[in-house]
Structure 1
Amino acid sequence: MTSSTYDPASEGAETDFAKRMSYGDYLALDAILGAQHPLSDAHDELLFIIQHQTSELWMRLALHEIGAARRAIAADDVQPALKMLARVSRIFEQLNGAWDVLRTMTPSDYTRFRDALGQSSGFQSWQYRLIEYTLGNRNAAMLKPHAHDPAVTAKLEAELANPSLYDEVLRLADRGGIAMPRAVLERDVSETHRVNEAVVEAWRRVYEAPEAHWTLYELAEKLVDFEDYFRRWRFNHVTTVERVIGFKRGTGGTAGIGYLKRMLEIELFPELWRVRTVL
């Protein structure tokens, strides 16, 4: 039998979806595939739109996983959190790969539709901001681009009132016998955590005897693994933007490359990087 005469229905495959939920129904493909609306006739604008829309979908999943991991850690249920954090690393691996596709767009390609973007910019992504807030980079000034949207602002403000993922990890360590300084555990969680030498020393205890603190050791390495991918994502963002627009200002008014390079200096879990120096 050749493939041209093969009928999947002969082996029981369902082919009548007049009254049943189909693949397209379940995934709402009509809505998803109908959500691309280029504002110019430039060939590459569709690439630009899909790149950013798919990135937002991956960020939605990242938020789902990070939030669940944080809740699990707060409840001392670390094993599921390890799996979730490993998945977030793989999500950012996918996001990193997407830059390779966008880099096929040349400066000439981009200039053909850049003006159509107006002041819209990835800088305004509320999901990205929520990821940063959830991970602990809590700059309240970054609420301003979202002030026009009360629902989004409420989401971001609610997150600033909660302990970050790293806050919950430090609290877990303290509950498990790796004492953390009270000033860190009782700090204002709406502010970004700053490096603390006592926390470095606490992590040193874990890393010098991983067999005695295996759960914390493995959790710490999952965080480092994730931040490694996150840093690569930021670096790929910088190099892609420089390749496409050079040192022009961003469409949203930022300093473009200058702004993005400053973002490379941010550390999400600073003591986990510094502990490597003192071992």
Structure 2
Amino acid sequence: MTAQAPGSMTEHIVHEEKAQLDFSRSMSYGDYLHLDEILHAQSPLSPAHDEMLFIVQHQTSELWMKLMLHELGAALRCIASDELDAAFKMLARVSRIMEQLVHAWDVLATMTPPEYTAMRPYLGASSGFQSYQYRCIEFSLGNKNPAMLKPHEHRSDLLERVRIAYESPSLYDESLRLLARRGLAIPATHLARDWTQPYVASHDVTQAWLEVYRDPRTHWDLYQLAEELVDLEDAFRLWRFRHVTTVERVIGFKRGTGGTGGVSYLRKMLDVVLFPELWRVRTEL
């Protein structure tokens, strides 16, 4: 056996590591994630230190909402085509994303009223109220309101996206159509209606869900769908509640920058029920 020169093995390892760490000829982590664009997308307008927190909080929330819409759209299509196993995974993921957004408010809540006041004049009329992605989420979940199209009229491309969600069946609408396909008695008024109108609860729909809950073995996948929907609305309620308490903590009862009533408007949203019969079932079982 030929003896190796001292240090030759170490030199070989160092050479191999350098070769492996050379990303000049292939796609790197930063390239794949477009980190240059993302990490240079924060442009504070005020001299306030805390504006960076405000920007990053809302930008990351919009990224999570982008993923939510990706999953919600796929779940809607899966329910419409009776592919429930795939839909369950997507809906569970949406609920977990909402939990992430709930905890994100904990970070923003570290901003005190004087810190927010220092940067607020620089925000102009910009407001989370104008988030087209959030509006698409609300419409996809069934909270339809034509007034919510108006904040997006200045951008025809965004208005079109919001309008499609507004005019399409919601997640709950598709779920009820699925129940009807499975032979449960869903009234015709809830199967082919004007999807732009707010959902109106029905005694017959409650009875259909009661049939599912009273015999879960026979209707196991529908029973699981019902629980995924309840999980989702539960998480959405927590997100809304945490939003209200954070806003009240930071700005009190001042009007929102977008012209809304601020906390008073957000508190009204806490009373919105997306899947009413699934909550009524709990009382009647």
TM > 0.5: yes
Q: Does 1:215 align with 2:221?
A: yes
Once the 2 structures are TM-superposed, how far is the Cα of residue 85 of structure 1 from its aligned partner?
Answer: 0.3
Q: Does 1:174 align with 2:169?
A: no
Aligned match of 1:24: 30
Aligned match of 2:105: 99
* TM-score, L = length of structure 1: 0.95
Opposite residue 268 of structure 2, the aligned amino acid is R
Aligned partner of 1:40 among 30, 46, 49 = 46
Aligned match of 2:64: 58
Aligned match of 2:125: 119
Q: Does 1:269 align with 2:282?
A: no
Cα pair 1:38 1:49 within 8 Å, conserved: yes
Opposite residue 122 of structure 1, the aligned amino acid is G
Identity of aligned residues (%): 62
Opposite residue 149 of structure 2, the aligned amino acid is L
Cα pair 1:9 1:15 within 8 Å, conserved: no
Q: Report SS of the residue matched to 1:212.
A: coil
Aligned partner of 2:20 among 14, 17, 23 = 14
Aligned match of 1:73: 79
Structure 1 consecutive aligned stretches of length 4 or more whose deviation exceeds 3 Å: 7-13
Aligned partner of 1:205 among 188, 206, 211 = 211
Once the 2 structures are TM-superposed, how far is the Cα of residue 160 of structure 1 from its aligned partner?
Answer: 2.2
Alignment of 1:235-250 (within 5 A): 235-250=241-256
Q: How many residues are paired up?
A: 274
Opposite residue 26 of structure 1, the aligned amino acid is Y
Structure 2 CA distance, aligned partners of 1:70 and 1:213?
19
Opposite residue 96 of structure 2, the aligned amino acid is R
Q: Does 1:83 align with 2:89?
A: yes
Q: Cα–Cα, structure 1 residues 245 and 216, in superposed 2: closer, same or farther, change >3 Å?
A: same
Q: Report SS of the residue matched to 1:137.
A: coil
Aligned match of 1:256: 262
Aligned partner of 1:154 among 160, 179, 194 = 160
1:87-142 per-residue CA deviation (whole Å, 9 max, x = no partner) reads: 00000010011000011111011011011001100000000000011111110110
Q: Cα–Cα, structure 1 residues 158 and 9, in superposed 2: closer, same or farther, change >3 Å?
A: farther
Once the 2 structures are TM-superposed, how far is the Cα of residue 10 of structure 1 from its aligned partner?
Answer: 4.4
Once the 2 structures are TM-superposed, how far is the Cα of residue 19 of structure 1 from its aligned partner?
Answer: 1.9
Alignment of 1:220-239 (within 5 A): 220-239=226-245
Highest Rg: 1 or 2?
A: 2
Aligned match of 2:8: none
Cα pair 2:185 2:204 within 8 Å, conserved: no
Structure 2 CA distance, aligned partners of 1:11 and 1:199?
64
* TM-score, L = length of structure 2: 0.93
1:202-250 per-residue CA deviation (whole Å, 9 max, x = no partner) reads: 1111111111110000001001001101000000000000000000000
Q: Report SS of the residue matched to 1:17.
A: coil
Aligned partner of 2:197 among 191, 197, 218 = 191
Q: Does 1:137 align with 2:143?
A: yes
In the alignment, structure 1 segments of 5+ residues that lack a partner are: 1-6
Once the 2 structures are TM-superposed, how far is the Cα of residue 14 of structure 1 from its aligned partner?
Answer: 2.4
Aligned-residue RMSD, C-alpha: 1.5
Once the 2 structures are TM-superposed, how far is the Cα of residue 86 of structure 1 from its aligned partner?
Answer: 0.3
Once the 2 structures are TM-superposed, how far is the Cα of residue 147 of structure 1 from its aligned partner?
Answer: 0.4
